[in-house]
Amino acid sequence: EADIYQTPRYLVIGTGKKITLECSQTMGHDKMYWYQQDPGMELHLIHYSYGVNSTEKGDLSSESTVSRIRTEHFPLTLESARPSHTSQYLCASSPGGYNEQFFGPGTRLTVL
């Protein structure tokens, strides 16, 4: 079944740790996105990719980095986590054009 996956679903870590949030999709979509969702619900685009070896920063400045080595995989890395990184992170993919985005279940990150 075509889907989009995120792991882990929940993560609690200490300040200064390096973490990678995983996102994979089986739909063959070229376009993938990372959003940060604040407690007030609003979504903020932090990274996107149009395809393999393509990555761009989004509207919200983020200290995270991403890579796109394979079409299906779009991991997000924080080199040194801080309490200000505590948030919900949502991954999405799309075939592009006027089509919708498909979302993963999200990763709830808490940095102590």
Partner 1 sequence: GNSVTQMEGPVTLSEEAFLTINCTYTATGYPSLFWYVQYPGEGLQLLLKATKADDKGSNKGFEATYRKETTSFHLEKGSVQVSDSAVYFCALSGYTGNQFYFGTGTSLTVIP
Among 48, 68, 74, 111, binds partner 1 (CB under 8 A): 48
- State whether residue 84 is helix, strand or coil: helix
Q: Is 39 in the site for partner 1 (CB under 8 A)?
A: no
| Residue 74, burial from CB neighbour count under 10 angstroms (0-12, 13-18, 19+) | buried
CB of 97 to partner 1, least distance (A): 6
85 φ/ψ angles, rounded to the nearest 5 degrees: -85, -5
Q: Is 28 in the site for partner 1 (CB under 8 A)?
A: no
Closest to 72 measured CA to CA, from 7, 5, 9, 1: 5
Distance CA 60, CA 81 (A): 17
Among 41, 53, 69, 70, binds partner 1 (CB under 8 A): 41
Closer CB to partner 1, 26 or 99, in the complex: 99
Q: Which stretch binds partner 1 (CB under 8 A): 11-19, 60-68, 72-80, 94-102?
A: 94-102
CB of 73 to partner 1, least distance (A): 18
